[in-house]
Amino acid sequence: MDTTTRNEPQQQPLRILFLPYFAPGHLIPAADMAAVFAARGARCTILTTPVNADIIRPAVDRANNANDSNPAIPIDISVVPFPDVGLPPGFENVRYMNQSHGPEHYGKFLHAALLLREPFDRFLAAARPGVDGVVTDSFFTWSQDAAAAHGVPRLVFLGISVFARSCFESTLRNNPLEACPEDDDDPDALVLLPGLPHRVELRRRQILDPRKRLLEWQFYESASAADRRSFGEVFNSFRELEPDYVEHFHANLSRRGWLVGPVALATDSRDVVATGGISTDGVADSCIRWLDAKPVGSVVYVSFGTLTSFSPADLVELMEPMYPQLLIHLLLRARPRFPVNTEQIGLRIISIPLG
């Protein structure tokens, strides 16, 4: 028997605004996360710029098309102009940067991130019905205060694992380089990150040094402080992958976190992720077929991320010590000219044509 009445108000879906940073590892998972939220009945809007909207639109369209048979609300993309910070037209995502671009280019992206506060404020002020919560990137350090000014709770999303976040917080809270002997400036010396569930060491050169990069250190300190004031953090991960660090995040860092990954399954955006935001039909399927042909436990996958750039000589130096113990396949956007015969060192190339 239907117990509802005509006068009983219907509960409105939660309205969530996503503001992802303009880098593939931040942008694409945020779009997938919106699909996870939408599949559970939330009304999701992604606020971004024209080029970044084009990058995520295929994933959003797939999510919306997949939801046609259920009551999920379509995801919207709200497009705002990319701030004028002196970058070339269309240069709206850090994946366009290469080794020829100096640090000033990255600084311009951070400046653009600051200037997005105005359209963010306008959206929150004008939204009808109002926004119930925002999911914003940690790089938008102002977004906690902006959301609070509108009475809206903020969830943080940075795109990294709970383990990586814990290491990051250990570095900021303890500055482990201070414990190093003053006369030891060996860049390859091992430095312990304190306060973690396991013994974790990094090379000295891998750790942010506030004495040499003070502005960068201050930026991350301000981001971390804003994140700690937020309602909590969402991760593209799952508890079974890193249970000790989930517990550490909650109990020792006193932070609220929710693991909702792997979010790529929500939109089947594997092809887009594999190429840093450039969709290439069939790449994922061809990789799966290749993997299916290999014996169980015989393949190790190593990713250097979507922004890392190596010269052919660097790649050879990385791979040569592993031969002949390992047969190495490289998945590359284009086949470069190598300084040696790659077949002689057991290196095989799989190229992805990007058109």
Residues annotated as catalytic are: 26, 137
Distance, in Å, from the CA atom of 170 to the CA atom of 267, rounded to the nearest integer, reads 34
Helix (H, G, I), strand (E, B) or coil at 279: coil
Q: Quote the strand ranges of the chain, DSSP E.
A: 15-19, 43-48, 76-79, 133-137, 154-157, 190-192, 201-203, 232-235, 257-259, 328-332, 347-351
| Burial state string for 230-243 with b = 16 or more CB within 10 A and e = fewer than 16 | beebbbbbeeeebe
**Side-chain half-sphere exposure of 55, counting CA atoms within 13 A:** 34
Query: In 10 A of CB 196, how many CB atoms?
Result: 17
For 247, the enclosing helix (H) or strand (E) is: helix 243-251
Q: Let me know: does 227 contact 142? Beta carbons within 8 Å.
A: no
Secondary structure (DSSP) of 177-224: GGGS-TT---TT-EEE-TTSSS--EEEGGGS--TTT-HHHHHHHHHHH
Q: 79: burial class by Cβ within 10 Å (0-12, 13-18, 19+)?
A: middle
Q: Let me know: does 247 contact 167? Beta carbons within 8 Å.
A: no
